[in-house]
Structure 1
Amino acid sequence: MSNRMVCREASHAGSWYTASGSQLNAQLEGWLSQAQSTAGPARAIIAPHAGYTYCGACAAHAYKQVDPSITRRVFILGPSHHVPLSRCALSPAEVYRTPLYDLRIDQKVYADLWKTGMFERMSLQTDEDEHSIEMHLPYTAKAMERHSLHSHALLQCQRFRYTYYDESQGEIYRSIEHLDKMGMGIIEQLDPISFSNYLKKYHNTICGRHPIGVLLNAVAELKKNGTDMNFSFLNYAQSSQCRNWSDSSVSYAAGALVVH
């Protein structure tokens, strides 16, 4: 066995979030303290992956639902913004380094996934250049700080450029919110076919639509076995309010899946 350790650094710290562990810890604790817990611990969450200045508070509503005492392993799925991928990809990293502490990736799980033949591998450079998973690492570390953690990440590909406007909703930002919340309502139904039909009809470029699709299909399989679950969105925000066609904004949403 090789003793080689391949680490993925938090390469964008200082731009996406502060590189100072103490400052970052204080920020996360502040946002989490303002979020409310739901009735039960989450088995899955959906959270945004923009810079913490824009969506750190929104993401806290999802991570507040994580109970480290019942969580043995975390799977993180994120979109690829720069490199096209034909399927989910596995990183060569063995450790993800964050300003809080390191997250060790479960190599046995990686090996088992690779044996299925359903995954491809990404380079370490591709992983380091992609921010979607990186933004969840400090929050994962914070949510799990009272529990030893094995982390696992899956990556899928998406790109977005989209303009939508329904005049009946009023100003542009209200139209965007209407479309977003229509999709959020469909996700809460835990119906992968309805979500797929929504994407085909409206072409809303939800950045995490493929990871969300994986979650919805996994839930659908579990429901066949009688597992009782519900998903609720806990927070919604926009980076800015679009009022004319020269404006742009990004929508953020946080939600949690609870198993009863």
Structure 2
Amino acid sequence: MNNIRQPAVAGLFYPDKPDILKSMISDYLHQVAPVNEAPQAIIVPHAGYIYSGEIAASAYARLQSRRNSIKRVVVLGPSHKVSFAGLALSHAEAFRTPIGDIPVDTEAIASIIHFPFVGYSDQAHLYEHSLEVQLPFLQMTLDAFKLLPIVVGDCPAEQIEQVLELFYGADDTLIVISSDLSHFHDYATAQRLDKETSEKIEHLDYQHLDYGSACGLAPVSGLMALAKKKSLQIATIDLRNSGDTAGDKSRVVGYGAYVIN
């Protein structure tokens, strides 16, 4: 493969040495109590691993029983670097991490490119960390799989829901939504705000979330819209912030992990 999306935040958000990276993720996963029922979709944070890795692991550890069956992962995360409308695909044939290359699912791309709000933007993917930080976790919890990576710009929940509905519920598919929660409040304020946000997520009340609630508001709302349409339940399995993990409590970022079984 010649066209490979290179890692942009290896050595910054997570270790760039394969052995150290694998060991770190394994440690996070082993801290999670076993759960037999594997999710169809998860919402996980995307900060540096020392801040949010434990919270992300609480969802990824639940994939064990689907490790061999998941062959496609649809990952949606917000754009931090580029402003645009709709959903952005990549021309890359594979996405690289220190652990190895993940092939892009061209069949999945072909199934959504007809939507008028879906297009290509390699620039949106070039430096975007919201998708990248999920990939080593997926490599450590699944066997061979293909990737449908989507960076989300300004896009209504109902449009994102149309895309997710094409993939949700397939035995061979996992949906991953990448989002942090509140940003840069004091510890107590963040706890209150993130609890309120989690309650809205659980009640599928996406119309009353705002960008102060979650940086991945659009993809989270799209999953909530799908859950509402299909009468599904989203459960909170972990809710902490950087003050609980590796940060100062005067100015924290919130992290939640959620699953649809």
* TM-score, with structure 2 as normaliser: 0.81
The 8 Å contact of residues 87 and 150 in structure 2, kept in 1 or not, is answered as: yes
For the residue of structure 1 that corresponds to 2:243, the secondary structure is coil
Q: Offset of 1:255 from its aligned partner?
A: 1.7
Equivalent in the alignment of 2:38: 41
Give the one of 149, 153, 165 matched to 1:153. 149
Which residue is equivalent to 1:231?
234
The question of whether the paired residues in 2 share the 8 Å contact of 1:183 and 1:195 is answered with no
Change (3 A) 1:96 1:187: same
Shift of 1:247: 4.0
**Counterpart in the other structure of 2:193:** 179
- What is the distance in 2 between the residues matched to 1:180 and 1:162? 10
Partner of 1:169: none
Q: Give unmatched runs, 5+ long, in structure 1.
A: 165-171, 224-228
Who is 2:221 aligned against?
A: 213
Report runs of 4+ in structure 1 exceeding 6 Å deviation. Answer: 160-164
- 1:30-76 CA-to-partner distances (Å, cap 9, x unmatched) read 10000123351110111110111111111100111122233231100
Q: CA deviation at 1:221?
A: 2.8
Root mean square deviation, CA, Å: 2.3
User: What's the counterpart of residue 139 of structure 1?
Assistant: 137
Conserved? CA contact 2:187–2:250, under 8 Å:
no
The corresponding residue for 1:99 is 98
Deviations 1:188-233 (A, max 9, x none): 22x2xx222243xxx624111111111112222333xxxxx43221
Conservation of the 8 A alpha-carbon contact between 2:190 and 2:253: no
Mapping 1:235-250, distance limit 5 Å: 235-240=238-243, 247-250=250-253
Aligned length: 230
Q: Which is higher, the Rg of structure 1 or of structure 2?
A: 1
Separation of aligned partners in 2, 1:25 and 1:99 = 9
1:47 maps to a residue whose letter is V
Residue identity in the other structure for 2:132: E
Structure 2 runs not aligned, ≥5 long? 155-180
- The aligned counterpart of 2:4 is 7
Looking at structure 2, the residues matched to 92 and 19 of structure 1 have their Cα atoms a distance apart, in angstroms, of 24
Deviation at 1:99, TM superposition (A): 1.2
Judge conservation of contact 1:238–1:251 (CA < 8 Å) in 2.
yes
2:235 maps to a residue whose letter is: S
Percent sequence identity is 27
Q: 1:107 to 1:101 in 2, by over 3 A?
A: same
Q: What amino acid is aligned across from residue 140 of structure 1 in structure 2?
A: L
Kept in 2, the 8 Å contact 1:65–1:256? The answer is: no
How far apart in 2 are the matches of 1:197 and 1:254? Answer: 19
Query: Which TM-score applies when normalising by structure 1?
Result: 0.81
Change (3 A) 1:249 1:113: same
Say whether the 8 Å CA contact 2:9–2:129 is kept in structure 1.
yes
Q: 1:18–1:239: structure 2 CA closer, same or farther, 3 Å change rule?
A: same
- Other structure's SS at 1:61 match: helix
Distance 1:62 1:217 in 2: 20
Deviates more, 1:4-13 or 1:18-27: 4-13
Q: Which residue of 1 aligns with 2:61?
A: 64
Whether contact under 8 Å (1:8, 1:97) holds in the other structure is yes
1:204 aligns with 2:202: no
